Amino acid sequence: MFLHSLRARIALVFVMLMLVAQAAAFVVINSVIVKNAHRNAEEQLSVAERVFAQVLHGNSEQLTQAASVVAADFGFREAVATHDGKTVGSALRNHGDRVHADVVMLVDLDGKLIADSADVGHEGMAFPFPKLIRTVATKGDASSFGMIGGRAYQLVAVPVKAPITIAWVVMGFAIDDALAREMSSLTSLDVSFLTVNDNGEWGVLASSLPQDARAALKDQAQLAEDGYATRILRLHSEGQAVAVLLERSMNEALAPFHRLQSTLLLITLLGVIVSVVGSMLTARSVTRPIAALAQFSKRIGRGDYAEPIEIRQNDEIGELARAFNQMQEGIAERERRITELAYMDRLTGLPNRALFNDRLQQAIAAAMRGNHPLAVMMMDLDRFKYVNDTLGHPIGDMLLCEVAKRLRAALLRETDTVARLGGDEFAVLLPTDDLPAARLLAQRMLRALEEPITIEGQLVDVGASIGIVTFPHNGTDMNVLLRRADIAMYVAKRSNLGYALYDERHDQNSAERLSLMSELRQAVEHDQLTLHYQPKVDLATHRVKYVEALVRWEHPTRGFVAPDQFIPFAEQTGYIKTISRWVADKAIGQCAAWRAQGIELAVSVNVSARELIQSSLPETFDALLHKHGVAPEWIWIEITESAIMDDPNHAIETLDRLHALGIRLSIDDFGTGYSSLSYLKRMPVDELKIDKSFVMGMSQHKDDETIVRSTIDLGHNMGLKVVAEGVESQEMLERLRALRCDLAQGFHLSRPLPPAKLEAWLAEWTVGNQQALAVAREQT
């Protein structure tokens, strides 16, 4: 537990760092001391080696000089020549004593001893070092080491000439402890003379070491382990090898540094003690303000921003304390701002979805207690996406702010709430109003948005679609009310009504809707859909050259499902693209089949708005034309006016590419959208179809007939064919012929028929047309 505290860890880190630093310093310095000691020992060995060589050389010269004096003595040479053994022996001893030589010998030309100063009876024996004699014979003098009688000697030899060489004088010093001690005093090292036998075993000849320490000299590896620096010098010798061992005890070499090491160790211990005390003080100075900061943080965590922390230090801790105080102020400000943002829309300043839902919940609870109604309205802007795409998002944002301003101004009471839920979607809460009051407010908001809106010099035209629900008639739960208001809003948008009340018949977000989606997929995959074809009659020639393909669904259990029930649903879900491609494939295939039978019919196919903005639509039709071998001029594509105006630029681009393939293009339901002549003249269309609502209203409303006449004149002036759909009476047909309409289509002529029935109808129509022509010729 002690080590869990920051103070203990700081102290521990300081102590460990100091220990590591002191230990590293101790190791490094001690290593330097040891290295210096070894280096000094090696230098001493090198110096001793040179001194030893000089001493041996001096001994060799001393022996050579003494031997040369003997060899040059006339009386000695005469005694050698006359074989006067006593005189030779006396002369050898006398001259040997003068230089303290331990051995003096005379060797004849045959390599045998003539005399020996030791008088050990070696006369007549072979001289043990013939190589030494040969070297003397070659060079005039020589020096070597050798073993005589178990003792080692440094020997020199010089010739005795009278005037030719008649013998050799050999003189030497014994290698003994006295020499070793003398050499040790000169070099300050332990000196030992060793011999090596044929088996590589070492023997001690002499040493400056005491007797009990000489046994270790036979194992050189052991000497190194025992802390000795050594150097072995091989001496020039005959017979058994002789060497000298120079030793330096590392313990003695390190002795002068022991005090320094002890001082260093003491300094290390003092450093550790100081670091422990200093680390505890430092840790205390650090952790005490940190503890205060921790308490301050807990207060902030509890939401207590009343008092700042007071730490008056001017170091990093003080800076941290000031930063904490700034953090406290910042958090308090941000909490206030977050609380505001959590319930307000930043762009428009209106309440957001969270605040609207909260107020709606409270209003529902109050309405339940007071047993009074309330109304909820959902609103979505029309053509807002077009404004964003063409003028840019900054203009779109300013438009939303202006809309919010107008909606807020349209409210009558402060208790009413208008909120922005997101994007271009708004909601209104009338906590005490019923349905009539909600209708009046919806009309007032729509009129407010009809007023021209100018943003940065751009005139922006937007409308709105509003869905209305009331409590408790349309629901008592917040989520249910919002969902149903959303459904009503989409009904208003699809029907261009401005506003719509919720009707449960419009609620397609049910289990039945999901079931219908699954069944529609199966209908496409299993060819349950069929195509019926409605003919278009040429009013000038009464001939039929064109038919329109219309999809029909005969459900196995539901029976006939009208197109207006599943086509809008498919458009909402995006499945309309699959249905459109299925229709195009079947229609183009039927066109090919009729052409093969000699029936010359051009087939019109309807394309949805979703398909029109897809860049792959021309490629799809091109592939289908090649698949069925159909000429492009046999196929017409009908596009609704509103579909084109949803995204004119993309629509015109797609129409240009379709026109380039050779496909004919027709604008369906013309007159119900918002197209302008500027767009119409840019579109590569071949035909206008007057919406049936105007055709059917001609007999009752002069305005509708005026629209039909104007559309026909407009189409002809632009070089387009004009088709009137919805013809349901002979009177209507004759009136269209009088207005010079090109083609007619409607139930009066024929309902949409399956292919076989259409072929039969065509046969009857052709016969009837021929009879009518024959009667006309007879009358003329």
Indicate whether 276 belongs to any domain.
Answer: no
Q: Distance between CA atoms of 407 and 453, rounded to whole angstroms?
A: 13
**Tens of pLDDT, residues 366-409:** 999 999 999 999 999 887 877 777 778 888 899 999 999 999 99
Are 351 and 499 contained in the same domain?
yes
Same domain, 502 and 538: no
What's the pLDDT score for residue 1?
A: 44
671 conformational bin, left if phi > 0, alpha if psi -120 to 50, beta if neither: left
Q: What CA–CA distances, in Å, run from 415 to 373, 390, 432, 442?
A: 14, 37, 9, 17
Whether 673 and 644 have beta carbons less than 8 Å apart is answered as yes
Tell me, yes or no, whether 698 lies in a domain: yes
Provide the 10 A C-beta neighbour count for residue 575: 17
Q: Which CATH number characterizes residue 356's domain? A: 3.30.70.270
- Per residue in 3-35, pLDDT (tens digit) is 556 666 666 777 777 777 777 777 777 777 777
How far is 640 from 648, CA to CA, in rounded Å? 12
489 with 570, same domain: the answer is: no
pLDDT, position 749: 93
Question: What pLDDT does 431 receive?
Answer: 93
Domain count, the chain: 3
Q: Are 388 and 396 in contact (CB under 8 A)?
A: yes
Q: Is residue 11 part of a domain?
A: no
Query: Which one of 252, 282, 304 terminates a domain?
Result: 252
Asked if 610 and 574 count as a contact pair (C-beta separation under 8 A), the reply is yes
If residue 753 lies in a helix (H) or strand (E), which one and from where to where? none
Tokens 């299993």 sit on residue:
526
Asked if residue 656 and residue 753 are part of one domain, the reply reads: yes
DSSP collapsed to 3 states, 696-734 = HCCCCCHHHHHHHHHHHHHHHHCCCEEEEECCCCHHHHH
The token pair that represents 74 in the structure block: 């006339």
d(CA 309, CA 297): 10
User: 335 in a domain, yes or no?
Assistant: no
Residues 604 and 745 in one domain: yes
Q: In the chain, which residues have pLDDT < 50?
A: 1-2, 120, 674
Residue 605 counted as domain residue:
yes
- What range defines the domain where residue 558 resides? 532-775
- Sheet containing 142-148: order of strands: 113-116, 103-108, 165-175, 151-161, 142-148
> Of all helices (H) and strands (E), which one includes residue 340?
helix 316-343
Cα separation, 86 vs 391, in Å, equals 144
**The model's pTM:** 0.44
**Whether residues 552 and 700 fall in one domain:** yes
Which residue, of 252, 286, 302, is where some domain finishes?
Answer: 252
Is 338 part of a structural domain of the chain? no
Report pLDDT for 285.
67
495 with 619, same domain: the answer is no
Q: Kindly state whether residue 302 falls inside one of the protein's structural domains.
A: no
Site of tokens 């609380």? 339
| C-alpha atoms less than 13 angstroms from C-alpha of 7 in its C-beta half-sphere | 16
Contact in structure between 534 and 547 (CB atoms under 8 Å): yes
Q: Which two three-digit tokens encode residue 693? A: 């609502």
Q: Which amino acid is at 696?
A: M
Residue 444 is predicted with a pLDDT of 93
pLDDT at residue 499, rounded to an integer: 92
Residues 368 and 423 reside in one and the same domain: yes
